[in-house]
Structure 1
Amino acid sequence: MTRRNGDPTGLHRVLDDAVVLPQAAERLDTRRELWPDEVRIRVERLNLDAASFRQLERKHGGDRDAIRAEVVAIVAARGKMQNPETGSGGMLVGVVEEVGPDSPLGLTVGDRVTTLVSLTLTPLVIEDGLDDWDGRDEQVPCRGYAVLFGRSIAAVIPDDLPAEVSLSVMDVCGAPALTHRVVSGYDRPTVAVIGGGGKSGSLSLAAARRAGARRLIGIVPHEEEAARLRAAGLADEVVVADARDPIALRDAVEKAGGPADVTVVCVDVPGCEGGAILSTADRGTVVFFSMATSFSAAALGAEGLAADVTMLVGNGYVPGHADLALQLLREHDGVRALFESRLG
């Protein structure tokens, strides 16, 4: 294939015959040599998207060796980490190894950074077979390299936080930022966060409080997680409900003080669209942050329920999202405790 001219979107790294952006490509060029506006990262750790990791767990019945082997195979075949079932990837932590002369990212060699763009569009090479990963959670020790484009986003890891905590926060920092923006548009709203005990959910609860929410409802799937969320002190009401059961979810939210003016969906399982819609008041807003969401099911479900709600797709980027998420982590001991408990 003829070497394409560089493009800030990374189009020059696409190996498909059709002209598609890197996220939609079947395979990316992973050569080490940089185009002038690129940056190469020496990878230390991957953070797989939660929906992708759960799908791999289900597919392989918890066989850790099989999970590890499939991640290696996906990256080798595609030149990026993009789960063919969920379409999602994750992000990474590493050290800047080389910076092209025209890079606009403001990074220098030696910076320890986390990427704020998905692994689904990031050229990636794994060099160690993920031998140090036990396959038990989304955080993956990794030796290899990755390439960032001119329109990529990365943040230098702060000195006051462990790298694995920073990576976990950065992985979901779009959720609290958009939650803050949406909640700020209401006058003291009631906000329900489905998956409130998780990473994006706990940060979204904290962001909603900062934005002026009057009442916060955290929904979790079982009592053990409810106890952790209550201890964190992030929600006014914590309820246990199966988000896949639309009637049970609706009733639980109403009993806790709903329906919600804003409902934020942060769970990594499919089938939660109907319950989120039913839990939201007329003229309210549903924000979907899960890659397990079926957006056709959400649109058709709202129509079928005659639900006058605005539905937003959380795209993972809001200006200032990383700084806000890190600030929320520093300000809320409960948020940090939840993150650290998930990291073991």
Structure 2
Amino acid sequence: MTRPRPSDPTGLHRVLDPGRVLPQAAQRLDTRCELWPDEVRVRVERLNLDAASFRQLERKHGGDGAAVRAEVLDIVRTRGKMQNPETGSGGMLIGVVEEVGPESTLGLEVGDRVATLVSLTLTPLVIEDELAGWDGLGEQVPCSGYAVLFGRSIAARIPDDLPADLSLSVMDVCGAPALTARVVADYVEPTVAVIGGGGKSGSLSLAAARQAGAGRLIGVVPHETEAALLRDSGLADEVVVADARDPIVLRDEVHKAGGPADVTVVCVDVPGCEGGAILATAERGTVIFFSMATSFPAAALGAEGLAADVRMVIGNGYVPGHASYALELLRGNDGVRDLFERRL
């Protein structure tokens, strides 16, 4: 086989765009199944779509699962990867390693069942079954096909003691609790508010904040049904029901619950929550944005316009050891596990 360029650990050799861009920014990737020497090919079993991406597709098609499925198929065929053109986000996958290049440094072996810890927005992907087993109504997508990992990709073996779909849900958001713990540890018994505290990344972030020494935990959820579940979990000291898109309501409700927060973690999958998160945060506090629905220009300009002296951190989804840490939080916290299992 004649290869167009030598292998690069970033996956640059798979980019089909003119010029030089990295795979995540590319419009189309080379999905040939033949491997470069440092690559790994995975036989895909299931995709986990990013929450912001799935919600956007669901809203666009009015809950029509067949239309959502058709658009996902079209995106993957057109781009050679799963990257929602509206949100820019993708998700991750689980599967079984079927071939390992001789120069791969990922430590994987043929037959390993793994979850990829890099985004589908930069992962060459081919779907071979037309997503026949997916109704288009949920984020987890049964799938047959293959994906390719690069020299600098990340993957983790699926643990034997947890169901695969549960592991996938945890690993999809494992960067959130790890970074939350790191930031919370910089403070002395801080007040921590988690916007979207009843969700996957939110519940793990609450547990991580508690373990890292938070003095007070405030969970923010959009409606009473989710508030009841979060209260039952015991993860938060105070549970606030508020529309995170309304900055004044969010500010006031967090303050009533014991804020402003020293650390605010944004885990919601809807746009327009930047201003409220900033207003809910104390001066010299930190806002961690984990949602792919976040507008980072809106966050930066909003903080400037509000004269808010807050540090803003973009959660990039990777902290060393993040997958193992998130799985241990799940194993050791019945409240977290119950919320995850209810969502499955």
TM-score by length of 1: 0.99
* Residue equivalent to 1:283: 284
| 2:47 equivalent to 1:31 | no
* Residue equivalent to 2:58: 57
CA distance in 2, matches of 1:44, 1:18: 33
CA deviation string 1:203-227 (max 9, x = no partner): 0000000000000000000000000
| 2:76 equivalent to 1:75 | yes
CA distance in 1, matches of 2:196, 2:185: 21
CA distance in 1, matches of 2:298, 2:33: 41
* Residue equivalent to 1:160: 161
CA distance in 2, matches of 1:26, 1:89: 13
* Residue equivalent to 2:240: 239
CA distance in 1, matches of 2:269, 2:19: 32
Paired residue secondary structure (2:194): strand
| 2:217 equivalent to 1:207 | no
Give the AA of the match of 1:257: G
Distance apart, 1:2 and its partner CA: 6.3
CA distance in 1, matches of 2:293, 2:278: 16
CA distance in 2, matches of 1:12, 1:295: 29
* Residue equivalent to 2:12: 11
* Residue equivalent to 1:138: 139
* Residue equivalent to 1:173: 174
Q: How many residues align?
A: 343
Give the AA of the match of 1:322: A
* Residue equivalent to 1:307: 308
Paired residue secondary structure (1:17): coil
Change (3 A) 1:2 1:36: closer
* Residue equivalent to 1:230: 231
Distance apart, 1:184 and its partner CA: 0.3
Distance apart, 1:52 and its partner CA: 0.2
Distance apart, 1:8 and its partner CA: 0.3
CA distance in 2, matches of 1:331, 1:251: 33
Give the AA of the match of 1:24: A
* Residue equivalent to 1:47: 48
Paired residue secondary structure (1:239): strand
Give the AA of the match of 1:14: V
Distance apart, 1:121 and its partner CA: 0.2
Distance apart, 1:26 and its partner CA: 0.5
| 2:335 equivalent to 1:334 | yes
CA distance in 2, matches of 1:187, 1:127: 52
Give the AA of the match of 2:92: M
CA deviation string 1:289-323 (max 9, x = no partner): 00000011101110111100000000000011001
Percent sequence identity is 82
Q: Which consecutive segments of 4 or more residues in structure 1 shift more than 4 A? A: none
CA distance in 1, matches of 2:121, 2:50: 10
Give the AA of the match of 1:306: A
* Residue equivalent to 2:113: 112
Paired residue secondary structure (1:151): coil
Describe how 1:89-128 pairs up with structure 2 within 5 A.
89-128=90-129
* Residue equivalent to 1:265: 266
| 2:190 equivalent to 1:189 | yes
Paired residue secondary structure (1:176): helix
TM-score by length of 2: 0.99
CA deviation string 1:222-273 (max 9, x = no partner): 0000000011110000010000000000010000000000000000000000
Paired residue secondary structure (1:274): helix
Paired residue secondary structure (1:117): coil
Give the AA of the match of 1:17: P
CA deviation string 1:79-114 (max 9, x = no partner): 000000000000000000000001000000000000
CA distance in 2, matches of 1:316, 1:173: 7
Distance apart, 1:135 and its partner CA: 1.0
* Residue equivalent to 1:324: 325
The unaligned stretches of length 5 or more in structure 1 are: none
Distance apart, 1:155 and its partner CA: 0.0
- Root-mean-square deviation (CA, aligned residues, Å) is 0.7
